[in-house]
Amino acid sequence: MKWNAELYDNKHAFVFEYGESVLEMLDVKPGEHILDLGCGTGHLTNEIQKLGAIATGIDSSPEMVKKARETYNNVDFFVADGADFHFDEKFDAVFSNATLHWIRNADAVIKSVYDSLKPGGRFVAEMGGKGNVGKLIAATKQVLINHGYHKQSKTEVWYFPSLAEYTARLEAQGFRVTFAAHFDRKTPLQDGDQGVAKWITMFAPLYLVDIPEEEKKQMLTEVTELLEPHYNENGQWYADYVRLRFTAVKE
Ligand code: BEZ
Protein backbone atom coordinates (compact mmCIF):
# COMPACT_ATOMS: atom_id res chain seq x y z
CA MET A 1 0.00 0.00 0.00
CA LYS A 2 1.33 3.47 -0.90
CA TRP A 3 1.22 5.87 2.05
CA ASN A 4 0.64 9.62 2.03
CA ALA A 5 3.13 10.69 4.71
CA GLU A 6 1.90 14.34 4.87
CA LEU A 7 -1.74 13.34 5.35
CA TYR A 8 -0.71 10.76 7.94
CA ASP A 9 1.06 13.44 9.97
CA ASN A 10 -1.63 16.10 9.61
CA LYS A 11 -4.82 14.10 10.03
CA HIS A 12 -3.88 10.89 11.78
CA ALA A 13 -1.52 12.14 14.46
CA PHE A 14 -3.50 10.12 17.00
CA VAL A 15 -1.65 7.00 15.81
CA PHE A 16 1.64 8.16 17.31
CA GLU A 17 0.02 10.23 20.08
CA TYR A 18 -1.53 7.05 21.52
CA GLY A 19 1.85 5.40 21.04
CA GLU A 20 3.30 7.58 23.80
CA SER A 21 1.72 5.31 26.43
CA VAL A 22 3.23 2.22 24.74
CA LEU A 23 6.58 3.98 25.06
CA GLU A 24 6.11 4.01 28.83
CA MET A 25 5.86 0.21 28.71
CA LEU A 26 9.15 0.12 26.81
CA ASP A 27 10.89 1.72 29.82
CA VAL A 28 13.91 2.94 27.85
CA LYS A 29 17.28 2.89 29.59
CA PRO A 30 19.97 5.32 28.40
CA GLY A 31 22.41 3.75 25.97
CA GLU A 32 20.11 0.94 24.89
CA HIS A 33 19.93 0.04 21.20
CA ILE A 34 16.26 0.00 20.26
CA LEU A 35 14.54 -0.84 16.99
CA ASP A 36 11.21 0.81 16.13
CA LEU A 37 9.41 -1.64 13.81
CA GLY A 38 6.95 0.26 11.62
CA CYS A 39 8.30 3.69 12.48
CA GLY A 40 6.07 5.62 10.06
CA THR A 41 7.19 9.25 9.97
CA GLY A 42 9.57 8.64 12.86
CA HIS A 43 8.02 10.61 15.73
CA LEU A 44 8.17 7.81 18.28
CA THR A 45 11.62 6.69 17.09
CA ASN A 46 12.80 10.21 17.83
CA GLU A 47 11.10 10.08 21.25
CA ILE A 48 12.99 6.85 22.00
CA GLN A 49 16.27 8.52 21.04
CA LYS A 50 15.39 11.56 23.20
CA LEU A 51 15.02 9.18 26.16
CA GLY A 52 18.71 8.40 25.77
CA ALA A 53 18.62 5.28 23.59
CA ILE A 54 20.27 4.75 20.22
CA ALA A 55 17.19 4.32 18.08
CA THR A 56 16.76 2.82 14.61
CA GLY A 57 13.48 2.97 12.72
CA ILE A 58 12.31 0.66 9.95
CA ASP A 59 9.22 0.89 7.79
CA SER A 60 8.16 -0.85 4.59
CA SER A 61 7.01 2.45 3.08
CA PRO A 62 9.71 4.46 1.27
CA GLU A 63 7.45 7.55 1.52
CA MET A 64 7.32 7.29 5.31
CA VAL A 65 11.06 6.65 5.65
CA LYS A 66 11.84 9.64 3.40
CA LYS A 67 9.70 11.91 5.60
CA ALA A 68 11.21 10.47 8.79
CA ARG A 69 14.76 11.12 7.50
CA GLU A 70 13.88 14.68 6.48
CA THR A 71 12.34 15.42 9.89
CA TYR A 72 14.89 13.69 12.15
CA ASN A 73 18.32 13.63 10.55
CA ASN A 74 19.94 12.52 13.83
CA VAL A 75 18.11 9.14 13.79
CA ASP A 76 18.74 6.16 11.48
CA PHE A 77 15.80 5.07 9.34
CA PHE A 78 15.67 2.26 6.81
CA VAL A 79 13.12 0.78 4.41
CA ALA A 80 12.66 -2.83 5.51
CA ASP A 81 9.99 -5.53 5.61
CA GLY A 82 8.87 -6.30 9.19
CA ALA A 83 8.48 -9.97 8.26
CA ASP A 84 11.97 -10.28 6.83
CA PHE A 85 14.61 -7.93 8.22
CA HIS A 86 18.12 -8.44 9.45
CA PHE A 87 20.68 -6.23 11.21
CA ASP A 88 24.23 -7.22 12.09
CA GLU A 89 23.84 -5.62 15.53
CA LYS A 90 21.48 -7.14 18.11
CA PHE A 91 19.02 -4.87 19.89
CA ASP A 92 18.15 -4.51 23.58
CA ALA A 93 14.50 -4.02 22.64
CA VAL A 94 12.17 -3.97 19.66
CA PHE A 95 9.25 -1.55 19.89
CA SER A 96 6.23 -1.49 17.63
CA ASN A 97 3.14 0.72 17.64
CA ALA A 98 0.10 0.20 15.37
CA THR A 99 2.02 -1.78 12.77
CA LEU A 100 1.88 -5.52 13.42
CA HIS A 101 -1.72 -5.86 12.20
CA TRP A 102 -0.56 -4.76 8.72
CA ILE A 103 1.68 -7.80 8.38
CA ARG A 104 -0.33 -10.94 7.82
CA ASN A 105 2.61 -13.32 8.28
CA ALA A 106 2.76 -12.98 12.07
CA ASP A 107 5.17 -15.86 12.64
CA ALA A 108 7.70 -14.38 10.22
CA VAL A 109 7.59 -11.03 12.06
CA ILE A 110 7.97 -12.69 15.44
CA LYS A 111 10.94 -14.71 14.17
CA SER A 112 12.65 -11.65 12.65
CA VAL A 113 12.17 -9.77 15.94
CA TYR A 114 13.43 -12.71 18.01
CA ASP A 115 16.54 -13.09 15.84
CA SER A 116 17.26 -9.35 16.09
CA LEU A 117 17.24 -9.28 19.92
CA LYS A 118 20.03 -9.91 22.42
CA PRO A 119 19.29 -12.66 24.97
CA GLY A 120 17.05 -11.02 27.59
CA GLY A 121 15.93 -8.45 25.02
CA ARG A 122 12.32 -7.34 25.03
CA PHE A 123 9.61 -7.02 22.41
CA VAL A 124 7.10 -4.33 23.41
CA ALA A 125 4.17 -3.64 21.12
CA GLU A 126 0.65 -2.48 20.59
CA MET A 127 -1.46 -3.56 17.62
CA GLY A 128 -5.10 -3.91 16.66
CA GLY A 129 -6.57 -6.86 18.55
CA LYS A 130 -9.45 -9.20 17.77
CA GLY A 131 -12.58 -7.14 16.98
CA ASN A 132 -10.65 -3.99 16.08
CA VAL A 133 -12.75 -1.59 13.97
CA GLY A 134 -15.23 -4.45 13.70
CA LYS A 135 -18.22 -2.19 13.07
CA LEU A 136 -16.37 -0.27 10.39
CA ILE A 137 -15.30 -3.46 8.61
CA ALA A 138 -18.84 -4.89 8.78
CA ALA A 139 -20.39 -1.67 7.42
CA THR A 140 -17.85 -1.43 4.59
CA LYS A 141 -18.41 -5.05 3.59
CA GLN A 142 -22.19 -4.56 3.72
CA VAL A 143 -22.02 -1.58 1.36
CA LEU A 144 -19.69 -3.46 -1.02
CA ILE A 145 -22.23 -6.32 -1.15
CA ASN A 146 -25.14 -3.90 -1.65
CA HIS A 147 -23.29 -2.46 -4.67
CA GLY A 148 -22.55 -5.91 -6.12
CA TYR A 149 -18.83 -5.98 -5.22
CA HIS A 150 -18.95 -9.46 -3.70
CA LYS A 151 -15.30 -10.29 -4.36
CA GLN A 152 -14.03 -7.06 -2.76
CA SER A 153 -16.31 -7.64 0.23
CA LYS A 154 -14.19 -10.71 1.06
CA THR A 155 -10.96 -8.67 1.18
CA GLU A 156 -9.04 -9.15 4.44
CA VAL A 157 -6.85 -6.12 4.93
CA TRP A 158 -5.52 -6.67 8.47
CA TYR A 159 -4.60 -9.31 11.02
CA PHE A 160 -6.31 -8.64 14.37
CA PRO A 161 -5.51 -11.62 16.63
CA SER A 162 -6.89 -12.51 20.03
CA LEU A 163 -4.61 -12.30 23.04
CA ALA A 164 -4.46 -16.10 23.27
CA GLU A 165 -3.53 -16.52 19.62
CA TYR A 166 -0.77 -13.92 19.56
CA THR A 167 0.81 -14.85 22.88
CA ALA A 168 0.84 -18.52 21.81
CA ARG A 169 2.75 -17.50 18.68
CA LEU A 170 5.23 -15.53 20.81
CA GLU A 171 5.75 -18.47 23.15
CA ALA A 172 6.15 -20.90 20.24
CA GLN A 173 9.04 -18.75 19.00
CA GLY A 174 10.73 -18.84 22.42
CA PHE A 175 9.54 -15.61 24.01
CA ARG A 176 8.32 -15.42 27.62
CA VAL A 177 5.25 -13.18 27.68
CA THR A 178 5.49 -11.04 30.81
CA PHE A 179 2.47 -8.85 30.10
CA ALA A 180 -0.49 -8.92 27.70
CA ALA A 181 -3.79 -7.04 27.57
CA HIS A 182 -6.71 -6.87 25.13
CA PHE A 183 -8.96 -3.85 25.65
CA ASP A 184 -11.41 -1.45 23.96
CA ARG A 185 -10.18 2.05 23.22
CA LYS A 186 -12.68 4.08 21.30
CA THR A 187 -10.66 6.49 19.21
CA PRO A 188 -11.80 9.96 18.09
CA LEU A 189 -11.98 10.63 14.36
CA GLN A 190 -11.27 14.07 12.95
CA ASP A 191 -13.51 16.06 10.57
CA GLY A 192 -16.92 15.15 12.00
CA ASP A 193 -19.15 13.26 9.57
CA GLN A 194 -16.30 13.20 7.01
CA GLY A 195 -14.11 11.27 9.41
CA VAL A 196 -15.17 7.76 8.42
CA ALA A 197 -14.65 8.44 4.69
CA LYS A 198 -11.24 9.97 5.38
CA TRP A 199 -10.22 7.07 7.61
CA ILE A 200 -11.18 4.50 4.96
CA THR A 201 -9.47 6.51 2.21
CA MET A 202 -6.28 6.67 4.27
CA PHE A 203 -6.15 3.22 5.83
CA ALA A 204 -8.39 0.92 3.78
CA PRO A 205 -8.21 1.95 0.10
CA LEU A 206 -7.82 -1.78 -0.74
CA TYR A 207 -11.55 -2.27 -0.20
CA LEU A 208 -12.33 0.27 -2.90
CA VAL A 209 -9.79 -0.39 -5.66
CA ASP A 210 -11.11 -0.06 -9.22
CA ILE A 211 -14.47 1.38 -8.13
CA PRO A 212 -15.38 4.52 -10.12
CA GLU A 213 -14.82 7.78 -8.19
CA GLU A 214 -18.48 8.87 -8.03
CA GLU A 215 -19.69 5.47 -6.84
CA LYS A 216 -16.88 5.31 -4.30
CA LYS A 217 -17.99 8.66 -2.86
CA GLN A 218 -21.57 7.41 -2.64
CA MET A 219 -20.43 4.19 -0.96
CA LEU A 220 -18.41 6.09 1.64
CA THR A 221 -21.53 8.13 2.42
CA GLU A 222 -23.49 4.90 2.90
CA VAL A 223 -20.82 3.42 5.19
CA THR A 224 -20.93 6.64 7.23
CA GLU A 225 -24.72 6.41 7.51
CA LEU A 226 -24.53 2.81 8.74
CA LEU A 227 -21.95 3.77 11.36
CA GLU A 228 -23.55 6.99 12.57
CA PRO A 229 -25.64 5.38 15.38
CA HIS A 230 -22.51 3.67 16.73
CA TYR A 231 -19.80 6.24 15.99
CA ASN A 232 -21.44 9.68 16.45
CA GLU A 233 -21.63 10.84 20.07
CA ASN A 234 -23.05 14.37 20.09
CA GLY A 235 -21.11 15.38 17.00
CA GLN A 236 -17.80 13.75 17.97
CA TRP A 237 -17.18 10.59 15.96
CA TYR A 238 -15.31 7.65 17.46
CA ALA A 239 -14.01 4.45 15.86
CA ASP A 240 -14.32 1.13 17.73
CA TYR A 241 -10.62 0.43 18.22
CA VAL A 242 -9.60 -2.64 20.22
CA ARG A 243 -5.97 -2.90 21.27
CA LEU A 244 -3.64 -5.78 21.95
CA ARG A 245 -0.56 -4.86 23.99
CA PHE A 246 2.23 -7.07 25.17
CA THR A 247 5.73 -7.30 26.51
CA ALA A 248 7.70 -10.45 25.68
CA VAL A 249 11.24 -11.32 26.66
CA LYS A 250 13.73 -13.39 24.64
CA GLU A 251 14.72 -16.23 26.94
C1 BEZ B 1 -5.09 0.40 14.24
O2 BEZ B 1 -4.17 1.07 14.72
O3 BEZ B 1 -5.73 -0.38 14.93
C4 BEZ B 1 -5.38 0.50 12.80
C5 BEZ B 1 -4.99 1.60 12.08
C6 BEZ B 1 -5.27 1.66 10.73
C7 BEZ B 1 -5.92 0.62 10.13
C8 BEZ B 1 -6.32 -0.46 10.85
C9 BEZ B 1 -6.06 -0.53 12.20
- Dihedral sign for Cα 111, 116, 121, 123, please: negative
Chain-wide mean pLDDT for the chain?
95
Q: Confirm or reject: Cβ of 170 under 6 Å from ligand 1.
A: no
pLDDT value at residue 11: 57
pLDDT value at residue 8: 63
pLDDT in tens, 174-222: 999 999 999 999 999 999 999 999 999 999 999 999 999 999 999 999 9
Secondary element (H or E) of residue 98: none
Q: Is the pLDDT reported for residue 34 higher than 70? A: yes
Confidence of residue 234 (pLDDT cuts 50, 70, 90): very high
Residue type, 248: A
C-alpha 204 to ligand 1 mean position (Å): 9
Q: Confirm or reject: Cβ of 98 under 6 Å from ligand 1.
A: yes
pLDDT value at residue 225: 98
Q: Confirm or reject: Cβ of 241 under 6 Å from ligand 1.
A: yes
CA dihedral 226, 145, 149, 159 (to 10 degrees): 70
pLDDT in tens, 123-180: 999 999 999 999 999 999 999 999 999 999 999 999 999 999 999 999 999 999 999 9
C-alpha 56 to ligand 1 mean position (Å): 22
C-alpha 98 to ligand 1 mean position (Å): 6
Q: What domains sit in the chain, N to C, each tagged with a CATH number? A: 5-250 (3.40.50.150)
End-to-end Cα, the chain, rounded Å: 35
**What is the side-by-side order of every strand in the sheet holding 232-233?**
187-188, 236-239, 232-233
Best residue among 137, 241, 245 to mutate for probing ligand 1, ranked by most atoms within 8 Å of CB: 241
Helix (H, G, I), strand (E, B) or coil at 24: helix
Confidence of residue 2 (pLDDT cuts 50, 70, 90): confident
Q: What pTM was computed for the model?
A: 0.93
Backbone angles phi, psi at 61, to 5 degrees: -95, 115
Q: Confirm or reject: Cβ of 132 under 6 Å from ligand 1.
A: yes
Closest CA to 72 of 45, 54, 51, 93: 45
Confidence of residue 77 (pLDDT cuts 50, 70, 90): very high
pLDDT in tens, 80-108: 999 999 999 999 999 999 999 999 999 99
Average pLDDT over residues 58-72: 97
Least confident of 7-11, 47-51, 93-97, 244-248: 7-11
pLDDT value at residue 10: 62
Q: Confirm or reject: Cβ of 203 under 6 Å from ligand 1.
A: yes
pLDDT value at residue 15: 63
